[in-house]
Amino acid sequence: MSQSSSQASLVQDQASLQLLGARLSPGKQTCPAPALPEDNEANDEAVIQQIERTVKTAETVLTSNSKRRIALVAVSIAGSALDQAASSDSSADAAGTSNASEEASKHLDTILQARDFSEPQALSFSGYLRKVEQLPENIRRIQEGEVIQAFQGSVDDWRLINLAASASTEVYKDLREVAASWKMEPSELSNLKSATISVAEFEGRRTLVVSVRGSTAARRDWMVNANGRPMASRKLLDGSTTWHRGFLAVAEAMQKTIASEIVNLKQSGEPAAGTQELLFTGHSAGGAVAQLFYAMCASPEHNLSGILAGFSKVHCITFGCPPVSTRTITRADSGVFQGGLFLNIINEGDPVPLCQEDYIKSLLDIYVKDPEELVAEGFRVPAAKYRVSGQCIVLQDSDPDDTDAVGWKAVVVDGTQMESKLFGNPFLHQMKYYNAVITALAADVR
Domains in the chain with CATH codes: 1-446 (3.40.50.1820)
Strand 408-413 to 147-150 pairing: antiparallel
Spatial separation of the C-alpha atoms in residues 142 and 411, rounded to whole Å: 10
H-helix or E-strand spanning residue 410 = strand 408-413
SS3 content of the chain, % helix, strand, coil (to 5): 45, 15, 40
Among candidates 316, 199, 215, 339, which has minimal Cα distance to 261?
199
Strand 276-283 to 342-347 pairing: unpaired
Spatial separation of the C-alpha atoms in residues 28 and 25, rounded to whole Å: 6
Spatial separation of the C-alpha atoms in residues 7 and 28, rounded to whole Å: 25
> Phi first, then psi: what are they for 114, rounded to 5°?
-105, 25
The model's pTM is 0.79
* pLDDT (0 to 100) of residue 205: 86
> From first to last of its 446 residues, what are the pLDDT tens digits of the chain?
443 343 333 334 444 444 444 444 444 433 322 232 343 445 445 555 555 555 444 444 444 444 444 444 444 444 433 333 333 334 444 444 445 444 544 444 444 444 444 444 445 677 888 888 888 889 999 998 999 999 989 999 999 999 999 999 999 999 999 999 999 988 766 778 899 999 998 888 899 999 999 876 554 554 555 555 788 888 898 888 999 888 898 999 999 999 999 999 998 866 554 579 999 999 999 999 999 999 999 998 899 999 998 899 999 999 999 999 999 998 888 889 999 999 999 999 999 998 888 888 888 888 888 878 888 888 889 999 999 999 999 999 887 767 667 789 999 999 999 999 999 888 888 898 999 999 999 988 86
| 318: Cα within 13 Å, side-chain hemisphere | 31
As a whole number of angstroms, the longest Cα–Cα distance in the chain is 70
* pLDDT (0 to 100) of residue 53: 53
